[in-house]
Chain A
Amino acid sequence: MKNTPFSIIIYTFLIIFGLIMIIPFLWMINTALKDQVEINDGNIGFNWKNKFTYIEEDGKKLGIGRALEVGDSVLVSTYTIDGQLILHPKNIHTEIAYDLDYKYRTDNGTIENRTKRVVLSDEAKLQYIMVHKDDIVEGSYIKPYFDNFAKAWNKVPFALYFKNTIFVALMTLIGVLFTSSLAAYAFARMNFYGKDFLFYLLISMMMVPQPIYLIPSYIVLSQFGLVDTYFALIVPWVANIFTIFLFRQQFKTIPQELFDAAAIDGCSMFGTLWRIVLPLSRPVIATASIFSVIGSWNSFMWPLIMTDSKDLRVLQVGISYFSQDSGTETALLMAASTFSILPLVFLFFLAQKQIIASTAKSGLK
């Protein structure tokens, strides 16, 4: 691998593929920061251009909104770059007037051109100024349009969706850690009748795809009136066969001497689990927790089917409805997508080593 031409080819490939992998994310963020008006005008490129028609006054650019054109003059209102209206109090002492040409239909049906002098009221003078049309510049300015995030956040109750998702993910996590550590402890360290049978039953059930038990689960839950409750979102997922399997493997690696020592010290079975086994298994617990949270956060089909009321919507379901309702508001959709994935991306960067290492391990026999 020391020869340079070969390395250059490898890096070229990797960079191209790397770009393909991350461009959708960059484009998502880019679109989230664009002005929807620009997008509708066909500007979808990687820029944060905002259309800006302005005049210069004392070296400052003032955005304008055209009100009326009279000959070479244009009556305009002025704005700051943030869209705040600029008032012109000094206009009060000057007269702003223009001659308005209009067609007048006389009583006998003929049409004649007339001119009328229009004088701006004090109130209008505060808002409008008269400029020469050549002074108006059609330009643009570059500024990320952060408003999209706030707009998307407020358009549908995303705060509620986040709250629901976090609640479901946390409750599921607590449940999974509780049931798995107990069950794995029994499978790893105790002998009981039917142990092997039960264990293989679990493993074989792990292979059953979700669509098989989806409909019967729905029927069972609805018989007990539990559809559309937090119960339906959480409880079916508080036992995770894969986590039991993972914990069992870990618990088996703990040397027998530690258990013997604990037994001599009078430590109960549960005490041994709590004081010795679990503290020694922290890395595995962390891994299982991370994957449990990722699983809950991203799960879609189950909550889509099991809940109906808006109050119970989790993030994925909420954002999917948002996408159906506001399909044309690309910028808002991308802003919503961005904040929906942000927590997990953050978690990923925080625990990158652990996530990648345990993914890598899953493929090794």
Chain B
Amino acid sequence: MKKNKLSPYLYILPAMIIIIAFRFVPIVLSFIISFFDWKLTGVDKFVGLANYAKLFTDQEFIQSMINTVWFVILVVPATIIFSLLFAVLLNNIKWLRGFFRTAYFLPYVTSMVAVSIVWKIIFQQRSGLLNYFLEGIGLEPLGWLNEPTGIFTMLFNNFGITLPDWMGGPSLALFSIMIVTVWKSIGYNTIIYLAGLQNIAKEYYEASAIDGASKRKQFFGITLPLISPTTYYVLMMTTIVTFQSFSQIYLMTGNPAGGPQGTTSLIVYYIYEAGFINLDFSYANAIALVLFVVILLLTLIQKRLEKHVTYE
């Protein structure tokens, strides 16, 4: 190990070259580009904060940001609740456990592209499986991916209440995409939760059972606190991944993507649109950096949450 001072560097060299060239340099470059008016042809001029200033007046950006916030706020908790529920149920059975685990995990190994194509057909208005089912049980078919109306508006309309526009919530179209996103991420997180549950010592449950605690009390008193490190991990990872949803929007929403009426344009799709459809690289980069800052801040906030996490 003392033979050659240079050899460790030779070992890390291949990985480092790639990471510096395709991660480090681009990350640094992305800051620089955002201060320029950068064209692919190489003609660039310094514009200072102009790209960032543009964000405040760009209605499409603001709408994408609002859409993304709704998306994350609803998808992340739904994923956590369903994954935990499935894991608790699976943890309580022996027979067929492997079978269910496989069934739940299957969406994770399939590509978002294929999943989006299949769900797009499921959501079809005229010949989609969901409307076929709704009509089967005597309900009105819905517009799903073509419906720009907010879900809260639709919900309250059923009771004859008309909500003001700003309370309308995300569109049914975006909600449909949330369903797919949650559906796809449940299996992976169920497996993680299941491992967390199996890590909780049986003694806790045995002791509390002797004390006469009900199943419900056990869940809130033992399971939930002791599983909190897993919840923390799932929360962090799901938030980061959900913020970056792209394929669903690109494939499921119709021509142009992000519709109807821009209600499904999420921030990473908007970056793609700004950069590769409108060919405004600098502006797209500025948006990407805003996204980065948002994710970073959320991670820091979640890090503070970690203090409330119970480690055994």
Contact = CB atoms under 8 A, between A and B. Distances in A.
Interface stretch (A105-113, A118-126, A127-135, A215-223): A215-223
Contacts of A116: none
A223 B127 CA distance: 47
B89 A239 contact: no
Contact of A186 (B12, B38, B110): B12
Given A186-B9, A212-B30, 15 more contacts: A21-B186, A24-B107, A190-B8, A207-B299, A210-B244, A212-B288, A212-B292, A219-B281, A239-B15, A297-B111, A355-B105, A363-B192, A364-B195, A364-B196, A364-B230
B101 to A, nearest CB: 7
B200 to A, nearest CB: 12
Interface in B23-70: 23-27, 29-30, 33, 38, 40, 42
B18 A236 contact: yes
Contacts of B106: 21-22, 25, 345, 348
B177 interface: no
Main secondary structure of the interface of B (DSSP, over half): helix
Contacts of A7: 92-93
B311 to A, nearest CB: 7
A185 B128 CA distance: 53
Interface in A1-41: 1, 7, 10-11, 13-14, 17-18, 20-25, 27-28, 31, 39
Interface string A344-358: 110111001001100
B72 interface: no
B291 A211 contact: yes
Interface string B235-278: 00000100110110011000000000000000010011001100
Interface in A324-365: 330, 333-334, 337, 340-341, 344-345, 347-349, 352, 355-356, 359-365
B interface, size bucket: 35 or more
A182 interface: yes
Given A44-B129, A298-B112, A217 B22 contact: yes
Main secondary structure of the interface of A (DSSP, over half): helix
Contact of B16 (A183, A269, A348, A349): A183
B157 interface: no
B27 A39 contact: no
Contact of A42 (B27, B42, B120, B127): B127
Contacts of A316: 111, 113
A212 B28 CA distance: 10
B38 A341 contact: no
Contacts of A198: 12, 16
Q: Max chain B CB contacts within 10 Å: which of A31, A239, A334, A361?
A: A239
Nearest to A201: B24
B14 interface: yes
Interface of B: 1, 3, 5, 7-9, 11-12, 14-19, 21-27, 29-30, 33, 38, 40, 42, 86, 89-90, 92-93, 96, 100-107, 109-115, 117-122, 126-129, 132, 183, 186-188, 191-196, 199, 229-230, 233-234, 240, 243-244, 246-247, 250-251, 268, 271-272, 275-276, 281, 284-285, 288-289, 291-292, 295, 299, 311
A215 B127 CA distance: 39
A242 to B, nearest CB: 12
A308 to B, nearest CB: 11
Contacts of A31: 121
A14 B250 contact: no
A104 interface: no
A290 B281 CA distance: 35
Given A186-B11, A269-B1, A337 B30 contact: no
A294 B42 CA distance: 36
A255 B285 CA distance: 47
A344 to B, nearest CB: 5
Contacts of A182: 11-12, 14-15
B289 to A, nearest CB: 7
B23 A361 contact: no
